Structure 1
Amino acid sequence: MPLTLAQPVHGELVIKKSRFIACVQAVPDRAAAQAVVARLRVEHPQAAHVCWALLAGGQSAANDDGEPGGTAGRPMLEVLRRQELEGVLATVVRYFGGVKLGAGGLVRAYTDAVAQALLHAEKLPLRRSLTLRCAVPYALEGVVRRELQLAHAQLGPVAHGDAVEFEFGVAEDEAAALRSRLNEAGQGALRWLA
């Protein structure tokens, strides 16, 4: 089962005068990851490199940010894969210390920086969610709201027109049970929307 992180974790290494500052954190998608990387570039304007690796299904990516190809992003991505993480971003900010480390040294440095940050990470099972939509008569709005609250569903937009239309997110493994409870509570008047 894929895992994610409860909160961001940090680590720092100094190797031959170069400083490697690592952070691994949960992110929902590539856009959020790129926003984090952009913020790091602003926070560390004197850094030589801001390398990153994103493991997020079809949006996974690795970036060496000017380091020799394959010496930073890919090794970081492999650490995330070995730890069975999903939906996480690893970043390493490098301040160059004047001593070249060579390709092997760079791979070890970036790998170790991410691995060290993950040593004390609290890992949680990744729960995928589904977005569902339904419509009910006004008389059943309160019933649906209570069921959604009991299921810890994330309520999205609610539209009031001819009927009340709900959009909500629910954990994938709880979706079938919630659908069943809503169908029963809706007494045949609930419609599922595409």
Structure 2
Amino acid sequence: MLTSYKTIKGYGEETIIIKKSRFIGYAMPAETEEEAVKFIESIQKKHWDATHNCYAYQIGPHDEIQKSNDDGEPSGTAGKPILEVIKKEGLKNVAVVVTRYFGGIMLGAGGLVRAYGQTAGAGLRAAGIVTRSLFQMIHVGIDYTWLGKVENETLQAGYFVDHIEYMDRVRVTALVPAEEAERYAKLITNTTHGQAEIMIGESIYATIQDGKLVKKL
């Protein structure tokens, strides 16, 4: 698994007017090709009356799935420039659609390439480019008296608290870089004098932005 990768935070949309043509850039995270196609079809349905709905997507840990479509624009002037913007940003699991309403002025091949690339970039920026990193979930079961100490030690060590469950005992679920799982377990064991029940959970990707955990993309 990749230790980290760049993608977008969520849905993004931006409109640009170029020589009276209206270009609307849409971006959406897509973990599978099915998700990408569903998103593209939703934009096509929304803008059924548009002159063009051009798109591209790149999916997979090693960019195994790449596809672009010019939707009637001259070959290579729309879908490919959108895909190139995704590649230039180094993004994974992303789908982008650029909708065009023709304004009556021809842009030429070079103008189309620039327009679709510019609009795709604007849509991606509106969505928010982020880095997702691989973390190990570690569940820590403790008595309530240890909660403040465990939470403080976790945060001060540079790790993240995903959530806390309040039951007969408290269960703190921390997110720790996979290679530091053993170090964190020792930290909590020492902090609680061996009174914590520590269980290694699954590996997940999470987004850290401005030093804070982004709960959901």
Aligning the two structures, in what range does the TM-score lie when normalised by the shorter sequence?
Answer: 0.5 to 0.7
Contact 1:21/1:93 (8 A) holds in 2: yes
Query: Is 2:104 the partner of 1:101?
Result: no
Aligned to 2:56: 53
Note if contact 2:28-2:39 (Cα within 8 Å) is conserved in structure 1: no
Stretches of structure 1 that go unaligned for 5 or more consecutive residues are 130-148, 153-170, 186-194
1:81 maps to 2:87: yes
Stretch moving more, 80-89 or 118-127: 118-127
Does 1:23 find its partner at 2:11? Answer: no
1:69 aligns with 2:66: no
Structure 1's 121 and 44: CA in aligned 2 closer, same or farther, altered over 3 A? closer
Q: Secondary structure at the match of 1:71?
A: coil
Residues 49/175 of structure 1: CA separation in 2 closer, same or farther (3 Å cut)? farther
Which residue of structure 2 lines up, in the alignment, with residue 40 of structure 1?
43
1:29 partner amino acid: T
1:29–1:59 CA contact under 8 A, matched in 2: no
Deviation at 1:2, TM superposition (A): 2.7
TM-score by length of 2: 0.58
Q: Which letter maps to 2:85?
A: V
For the 8 Å contact 1:86–1:126, the answer to whether it is kept is no
Distance in 2 of aligned mates of 1:30 and 1:77: 15
- The alignment's TM-score, normalised by the length of structure 1, stands at 0.65
* Structure-1 residue corresponding to 2:131: 125
* Count, aligned residues: 147
Distance 1:125 1:119, change over 3 A: closer
Q: What percent of counterpart residues are identical?
A: 35
Deviation at 1:59, TM superposition (A): 1.4
Could you list the per-position Cα deviations for residues 12-66 of structure 1 after superposition, in whole angstroms to 9, with x for gaps in the alignment? 1111211100012211111111111111111111101111110112111111111
Q: Quick one: distance in 2 between partners of 1:79 and 1:175? A: 33
| Structure-2 residue corresponding to 1:116 | 122
